[in-house]
Structure formats: C-alpha cells, structure tokens
Amino acid sequence: MAIDEKSIVEAVSGLGFKGNEEGLIPAFGLHLTTHFADYYNRSSFAVARAMEGSGLEDDARALLVEAGHICAFNTFGGIMKSAEWDAVVAPMIKTREDWLHGIVAVINAFGWGKWHIERLDPGVELKIRIENSYECTGWLRDYPVSKFARCYLATGGVAGLMNLMYVGDITTRPELTEAYYVELFRGGDAFHAVETSCMARGDAHCELKAAKS
C-alpha cells in the first residue's frame, strides 16, 4: 500500500489547528470547530434514549446516522478537495482505493478512535474496525451496557466514504452541493452502513460495514 499512515497522522496533527476570532478553524477548505466529544455524545444519546420504548427507535437512529452522512459528505469530501490533502496525502496516492486509505489516516489524526480498514472490495463493500470509538467510550462511561449499537456518526461516516468514492467521484473534485448530496445518498445506488459489533453492547471493538442495500 502506498499510503504512509504514520506520516499523515503526524503531518495533520502538526498543523496546529487554532480558532479565529469567531471560534472557527479555517482548515481543509472548511470551517471546523473543536469542542468536547461529550457535547455531541450527550446530545445524540439524549435523543436516542428519549425515543426508546416509543416505537420510534429506528427513526431516531436514522436521524442520528443521517448526521454522519452529512458530516462525511461535507467534512471528508472537503478534506479530499483541500490544499492540505494535495500537500500531504495526494503525493502518496497511486490508486482510487488509496484515497480511502488516505482519508482514514486523516481521520485517525482527529481523536475519534483508531480506524482500520479491515476489508475493501472496491465499489462493493467497506468494513471498518474502530478501537476506542469516542461515541462508545462516552456511552460506557455514562450509561450501562446497551442493547443497541451507538456509533451513530461513525456509521454514517463509513457509508459516506463509499458514496463519495463509488457513487459519486470525489477524485474529480465535484462541488459539494445539496443536489450532489441527494444524488449520492438518496438514490437507489447508495451505500448504507450497519454496525455489526459495538463496544457499547459489550463487544471488544466496533465494526461497521457499508454495502448497497
């Protein structure tokens, strides 16, 4: 594999993200924010827990996973179009699949847990293992072991990677418009992800698989 993950993590970690006077971090062609993982966790878990027993559990999960789809489209898509990507990752890329290995290396610089590509069948399936997912570590600190998988944002993120790469084509630097989002995530050809193992349910690590329905 051409991608040197250690070098990418070191380079991204050394960029020195710092908020401007508005509290925003201009990086990767985006405006990012930095805040406690608990801010996201407690908000999403409150929604999920409020819906339990209501018959709307699946709807609540779908909404929280949708947040992951949107995050992947804008954040991961924006990163792969950025000057920082061109400087740090692009020189290592030899194949389309290297784009996925490269973005996973960037993700691993963000403190969201340790992502590993377990299996990649190009255009067909992506299987990701996450060690110490921040969603699950937050859940297990605050709540009992769950009956449900809880990596909502990561689930949407894994599906988003496949949609950006194989339903659309992020390598051509498309405009990340709302219409393009609908094309990638709402069509019959879209990838969807499921969490097959989850630390919040007592599993040793989290595992997510994206495939077409």
- How far apart, in Å, are the Cα atoms of 147 and each of 57, 116, 139? 12, 24, 12
Topology classification of domain 5-212: Muramoyl-pentapeptide Carboxypeptidase; domain 2 (3.30.1380)
Mean pLDDT value across the chain: 91
Residue 184's closest CA among 77, 29, 32, 106?
A: 77
Across 61-180, where does the E strand assignment appear? 114-121, 125-131
User: What is the Cα–Cα distance from 90 to 45, expressed in whole angstroms?
Assistant: 37
54 contacts: CB under 8 Å, gap ≥ 6: none
132-160 tens-digit pLDDT? 999 999 999 999 999 999 999 999 999 99
Contact 120, 97 (CB under 8 A): yes
Q: What is the DSSP letter of 92?
A: G
The model carries a pTM of: 0.91
